[in-house]
Chains A and B, each alone.
Chain A
Amino acid sequence: MKARSLVGPLLLIGLGILLLLNTLRPQLGVLELLGRYWPFLLIGWGAVRLVEIFYWWVRRYPLPRYGISVGEWTAVVLICLIGSALHAVERHRPWERLGAVAGKRLEIFGRTYEYPIAEQRSSVPHATRVLVENLRGDMRITGADTQEIRVSGRKTVRAVDDSEAAGIDRRTPLEVTRDADAVVIRTNLDRIASDFRIAAHIEIVVPRGAAVEVRGRDGDVEVREVAGLALRNESGSVRARKVSGPVRFSLGRATLVSLVEATGPGEIVVRRGRDLEVEAVKSGVTVEGYFSGDLRFASIGGPLRFQNAQTTLRVEKVPGLIQMDLGKLTAARLEGPVQLASSRACDVQLDEFARGAEVSVDSGDIRLRPSSSALGPIEARTRSGDIELALPEQAVFQLRARTARGNVFNHFGPSLREASEGERGALLSGGSGGHLMHLETLRGSITVRKDTGVPLSAPSERRPTEVEIDAGEGRLRIQRH
């Protein structure tokens, strides 16, 4: 009896279900998910075929000459090509660039017309929910001691002549409406098909007790003195100050993301950002995403979680400061245990951290100076780089340090024993009980020295880009310190 494979029917069923989901539930983003996870289709296919072949072998059915036929390999190549293309599209989002190019082309031909947005007022209870929908343009939202919402601003329209611009302005009126549980402020820019031609720069004053939700696509947003903030934006900087209540940012591209003076908790998800600043947040903060510039975390009263596919950082509290960029992490005064894992090259310097640390980087130097009051277990690993550990003179600890190619330097005397490791490496171990310090580098020196009370070089107080938004006058000032 010739055994037949189940992979073909399974693939057909899977494809049918996916297409069905795409038509019935388009919000699931099936194509986007396919672009991200299609390699698991190949893994599943191969695994099912392996199971089948072993089953046939055990049952003594004749085995196929080749586990994957030529036709199937052709299908695999096609899947690879389509999957890679979907992944590239999902990652680079070329339509955003095409939109920008189309916008620029129009800028050559047309000119910009400006229309004031007449102030609208709506009285509301003190603790209300305010929903702002503005697809394009800068927004400034400020909390004040007031019982009403005031909205004003200006609109810029790119058009070939006056009448076209005036028509676009008329079709996109600002609306302030109240529904059951929220005041909704809408600029209605989505009524224009080519909405890159129009932007509404608005300034909103809300009661201080208002929880604000912002839905935008392109533009800088500044929010201060509100009770809770949820913000979704595809492109632009975000700056939030003095927010009492939870903060949630869901951003695409962002030049600057800044959250200062908030009670939190904070949840920040950014697809691709440059600078990030989180300061004076009373509870925990979670950050997910890629940042190409400077990151700064200071005075965070709860757990800090930062992660992307390459780097994970966990700290229980940040009374001090953490500064990061693509190749360096410098921190002082942390409450741990601190966990840092990076598959990138990264120089790490942790000063005055309590309750231990676990640091693992692909390559780069690691310098650690734990706090003398709350020593904890320490583990530091790098494939290529020096490791330096400064411990209090009276510290009770066990040490296990190993370099496969390099030297060890011991400042604690005979309580630690040196030995050679292979032809070029060295070991340093010993101690008198207490927490375990485990240091390991494949290529580099290891130094275990006494803490002289001198801090490691302090993180430089370099702040991310400052963005000034003045929606009323339409000024935008960006400067880098």
Chain B
Amino acid sequence: MEPDKEALLRAIRGPIMLVSLGALFAWDHSGGLAFSRSFPILLVVYGILKLLERLVAGPGRSGYGGAA
């Protein structure tokens, strides 16, 4: 896989986590599921993003871009 895709995935991880965090708080404030109960969704999102990074990196690469 192209290394720049790997870099892209790594770069968008933070913004996606930020959007998810904002969405969970917005859900809480609008009377939906409380953040204290919905926060595990953040772990799931983070896990999915890391998984994608590893898949894109392919075998033999660490998934941490230039470090491998």
| A binding-site residues for B, Cβ under 8 Å | 36-47, 49-50, 53-54, 57, 60, 63-68, 72-73, 76, 80, 83-84, 87, 308-310, 343
Contacts and interface: CB of A to CB of B under 8 A. Distances in A.
B25 A42 contact: yes
B16 A40 contact: no
A76 B21 contact: yes
Nearest to B27: A39
Contacts of A43: 18-19, 22-23, 26
Given A66-B14, A87-B29, A309-B31, A39 B8 contact: no
Contacts of A80: 21, 25
A43 B16 CA distance: 9
B68 to A, nearest CB: 14
Contacts, number: 96
B22 A64 contact: no
Contacts of B16: 46, 50, 67
Is the contact region of chain A dominated by helix, strand, or loop, or is it mixed? helix
A43 B22 CA distance: 5
Contacts of B25: 38-39, 42, 80, 83-84
Contact of B31 (A46, A47, A72, A308): A308
A57 B30 contact: no
Interface residues of B, number: 26
Contact of B8 (A40, A49, A57, A76): A57
Given A53-B8, A53-B11, A53-B12, A68 B29 contact: no
Is the contact region of chain B dominated by helix, strand, or loop, or is it mixed? helix
Contacts of A37: 26, 29
B10 interface: yes
B17 interface: yes
Given A83-B25, A308-B31, A50 B4 contact: no
A39 B12 contact: no
A53 B8 CA distance: 8
22 contacts: A36-B29, A39-B22, A39-B26, A39-B28, A43-B18, A43-B22, A45-B22, A46-B15, A46-B16, A46-B17, A46-B19, A49-B15, A50-B12, A50-B19, A53-B12, A57-B8, A63-B10, A67-B12, A67-B14, A73-B14, A84-B25, A343-B32
Contacts of B19: 42-43, 46-47, 50
A63 B7 contact: yes
Contact of A76 (B7, B12, B18, B29): B18
Interface of B: 4, 7-8, 10-26, 28-32, 65
B64 to A, nearest CB: 9
Given A39-B25, A53-B11, A57-B8, A68 B32 contact: no
Closest 4 pairs (CB-CB, A-B): A309-B31, A42-B22, A68-B14, A67-B14
A65 B28 CA distance: 31
A185 B54 CA distance: 73
A387 B25 CA distance: 34
Contacts of B12: 50, 53-54, 67
A37 B25 CA distance: 9
Contacts of A63: 4, 7-8, 10-11
Contacts of B65: 65
B39 to A, nearest CB: 11
B10 A65 contact: yes
A76 B17 CA distance: 11
Contacts of A49: 14-15, 18
B15 A50 contact: yes
A285 B11 CA distance: 52
A309 B7 contact: no
A290 to B, nearest CB: 9
Contacts of A36: 29
A39 B23 contact: yes
Contacts of B23: 39, 43
A49 B21 CA distance: 14
Contacts of B24: 39
A373 B10 CA distance: 63
Nearest to A52: B15
B44 to A, nearest CB: 17
Nearest to A310: B31
